[in-house]
Amino acid sequence: MGLKYIETVKSIILLLLVTLSIVFTFAIWSYTPSYETSEDLPTVDISIAKRMSIDELIKPYKIIFNFEEGLTGTLAPTDIDYVLNGLKKWRISEFTLVDNNFTAKKLDVLMRTPNQFTLYFHGEVPLPVYNTVLNGVDPKMTVPETTFDRLIVDWNPTSKSMNISFVSRGNQLLYRAKAKVDDYPSVHRSLLTWGRNLGQYADSNPGHLPFIAVAAEPVETIRNMYYQREINPSRFRDALFSNPNAVRRSQSGLNKEEYQDDHALMSIDTEKKTLKYVVPAPESQELAVASELLFNTIDFVNEHGGWTDGFRYTSMSPKSRYVKFQLFLHGLPVYGDTNSTEMTQVWGNNRILSYARPYYTLDLPFPETDVELLPSGVEITEMLKNSEALDFSAIEELTIGYFMRHDLERRLFIMEPSWFYLTKGTWVRVSPEQLGGGIIGLE
């Protein structure tokens, strides 16, 4: 009799198993895990150092006043800020393209014309970017997508407005705008009085191209030393890689380290204290819009608070989508012997392709500082003109900066004030040896 019902029992058990299988399968398909919403997830603020504004990153390095009786000028950041703060209050309008073939000869004539002052920028500045600094520009007015590296303001005592010329030497363009201020006679009088009290400058290349204005007297400078401080590269790893936990670290040489995931590579030079972050991707063949390129580069560094020292924008190439920022100290550019003093970026279509920079930073200054007197620009000019190894006609500009030496043993950065000249897009130091044995020191 037991054998009679065995097949029935088997059928019932099989039916139960099939039913359970269907129930479990449906439960798996319909299961939705309870994830936290993005608003509830804690945000991680990766800020390596500080963020900087556009008016901090884009600054003129020199101002020259051209009076009927001669030239005055300054490199001092506080003096330049005085003029910039005044300029921000001007009401600027009527941007007009005046000349689309503004040659070096035409610029030479303009810059030697009296009754004006000139602000010098290291690189071509997109006007829509600098428009964020010029608070007085009418927001309803269309600002042209152009660049400039010389901003020239001319004045006329009998007029109620001033002309502002935006000159692009690289693109040979001249744009001009009108500037109006309240109580023009008072502003005109105070600005010119202030300008006349600046240091004496001289035209170091009279009658020839280009116009190069240099200090007519020896220049007092400060020789600094700074303790070296390193930022752990792992902080850049956390800031730059989308998933730091997926990043693999390896040693690729005596002074080389690599951080890598499936999408990007960060190479570390532990001797020079530099890093390079690369995202392999095809380079864009399209010409970048200069203002968009510069906005993107600044935003990218601000996102991880990457301004570790006083960097400033100095150059760009919309064709290669390349942007460079240079280390500055006391308003003067810093160039290194072995350690990089530059921060560069290369962009593709709305994405970063390459990011190179130092990961050292200038810590506290050494307690002892020396005041040094550099030779005047007139003396340096004569020395360069008499040099058999140099073609002075190839020099575009002459100014003061710092040459940074790295004392590895004491972990110090030594900042040596020096004259530099610009030729073929490169700043070259006038070395103490060229000057015949050193720099004059002040007690």
pLDDT band at 17, cuts 50/70/90? low
387 and 282 together in one domain: no
Distance CA 76, CA 331 (A): 6
350 and 371 inside one domain: no
Q: Are residues 401 and 309 in the same domain?
A: no
Mean pLDDT score, 228-243: 95
pLDDT in tens, 244-256: 999 999 998 889 9
What mean pLDDT comes out for the span 132-161? 85
Q: Is 409 part of any domain? A: yes
pLDDT at position 341 is: 95
Contact 314, 123 (CB under 8 A): yes
Residue 119: closest CA among 72, 61, 68, 160: 61
Co-location of 259 and 329 in the same domain: yes
Is the model more confident about 267 or about 15?
267
Instruction: Assess whether 314 and 190 both reside in one domain.
Output: no
Whole-number average pLDDT of the chain: 87
Cross-strand partners of 213: 203
Contact residues for 147 (Cβ-Cβ < 8 A; gap 6+): 124, 125, 126, 127, 168, 170, 171, 173, 290
- Tell me how far apart the 2 most distant CA atoms of the chain are, in Å: 131
Mark whether 316 and 399 lie in a shared domain: no
Q: Do 419 and 400 meet the contact criterion of CB atoms below 8 Å apart?
A: yes
Q: Is the dihedral of CA 176, 181, 185, 191 positive or negative?
A: negative
Query: Does 46 reside within a domain?
Result: no
Q: Final residue of a domain: which of 336, 363, 390?
A: 363
**Domain with 414 in it:** 365-441
Same domain as 183, residue 60: yes
Residue 140 lies in a domain: yes
pLDDT tops 80 at residue 42? no
- The answer as to whether 240 is a domain residue is yes
Asked if pLDDT for residue 158 goes beyond 90, the answer is no
CATH of the domain at 267: 3.30.310.160
The CA distance from 215 to 71, in Å, is 9
Structure tokens at 222: 């400060």
- Among 124, 116, 169, residue whose Cα is nearest residue 145: 124
**Three-state secondary-structure class, residue 426:** strand
Are residues 118 and 88 part of one domain? yes
Number of domains in the chain: 3
Same domain, 234 and 307: yes
Residues 376, 221 contacting (CB under 8 angstroms): no
Which burial class, exposed, middle or buried, applies to 316 when counting CB atoms under 10 A from its CB (0-12, 13-18, 19+)? buried
CA distance 276 to 12: 69
Question: CA 37 to CA 409: how far, in whole Å?
Answer: 52
Phi, psi (degrees; rounded to nearest 5) at 404: -95, 120
3-state secondary structure of 181: coil
* 11: phi then psi, degrees, rounded to nearest 5: -65, -40
**382 and 345, same structural domain?**
no
Residue 248, pLDDT score: 95
* Lowest-pLDDT choice from 10-24, 30-44, 400-414: 30-44
- Same domain flag for 309 and 232: yes
Kindly state the average pLDDT of the residues 407-420: 91
User: Where does a domain end: 325, 342, 363?
Assistant: 363
Confidence of residue 125 (pLDDT cuts 50, 70, 90): very high
User: What is the 3-class SS of 72-106, one letter each residue?
Assistant: EEECCHHHHHHHHHHHCCCEEEEEEEEECCCCHHH
Domain boundary among 216, 233, 260: 216
Closest to 236 (Cα-Cα) out of 275, 208, 290, 291 = 275
Same domain, 79 and 138: yes
